[in-house]
Structure 1
Amino acid sequence: MRPPGGDRSADEGSAVVDFVLMSVLLVVLLFAVLQVAVYFYARNVAAESAADAARYAASAGVNPQAGVARAETLLRKGLDDRDAAAIHCTAAPGRDARSGLPTTTVECTGHLRLFFTALRGPLPIDVRSTVLRERAP
């Protein structure tokens, strides 16, 4: 413990060092939070694109493969070109296991690049939407 009115020269510059150490940690934390926000945004865009494409492809008289083009168009509208190109969609007809009714499934898988390279990556995105097919009137 330092006596009152003692020599303070030993503490000179310690506030600058503390500020630098804390600011580095806060900047890393800020980038990590931003990356998580971007990941959830991209995942929600992919999920909504797959859901909309599955609803479109399940319409009466529409080929289930038409859902692929619709999903990829929506991905390009919601994400930048590089991230949208890294996510690929597929569509397939099927049957509901419980009811036996015809379904259409659109699945989008891929990865999202990291803008902060200190984090491990790339981040995977895998979403699927299954919708009952409409019957022709």
Structure 2
Amino acid sequence: MLRRMRRDDTGAAVVDFVMMSVLLLMLLFGVLQVAVYFYARNVVAASAADAARYAAAESVDVAAGATRADHLVHEGLDEADASSIHCHAALGRDGTSGLPITTVRCTGHVRLLFSPLAMPLTIDVRSSVLKEGRR
């Protein structure tokens, strides 16, 4: 009877299905996590670019650029991720032309959604625009 049970493959399809299902679910969650990360990165990049253009206007204070970027990030992401991303604005000079520029930089972390690990994914985005009106 023991020999017969060793040769019998009844139930092998179920075991194969379970093993493949686990691997496919892990792959699906990995793809979804990458998509969430790139979505968050694009929201932060668009917010920094918009805030830099806003802060580059002649009559706008540079600090208003950081406030605008933070506001746009909070609109585009959920509160848990948006609260860990901070934006800063500064005036500077372009290294090549010497023209004044406004730079908005946003840095922070996005949490892993589909993993029990508490490993954050880092976002660091910078956008620079020529400042209007001053030379």
Q: TM-score, normalised by structure 1?
A: 0.90
Identity score, percent: 65
Match among 7, 25, 28 for residue 26 of structure 2: 28
One-letter amino acid of the counterpart of residue 81, structure 1: E
Runs of 4+ in structure 1 deviating by more than 6 angstroms, as ranges, are none
Residue equivalent to 1:43? 41
Structure 2, gaps ≥5 residues long: none
Alignment of 1:1-137 (within 5 A): 10-117=8-115, 121-135=119-133
Distance 1:132 1:64 in 2: 12
Q: Deviations over 1:7-41 (max 9, x none)?
A: 99610000000000000000000000000000000
Structure 1, gaps ≥5 residues long: 1-6
Q: RMSD of aligned C-alpha atoms?
A: 1.8
Q: Deviations over 1:88-127 (max 9, x none)?
A: 0000000011111100000000000011125672100000
- Number of residue-to-residue matches in the alignment: 131
CA contact (8 A) 2:111 2:118 kept: no
CA contact (8 A) 2:57 2:132 kept: yes
One-letter amino acid of the counterpart of residue 84, structure 2: A
Distance 1:77 1:42 in 2: 11
Distance 2:115 2:39 in 1: 19
Structure 2 SS opposite 1:99: coil
Distance 1:38 1:45 in 2: 11
Structure 2 SS opposite 1:11: coil
Q: TM-score, normalised by structure 2?
A: 0.91
Distance 2:71 2:118 in 1: 29
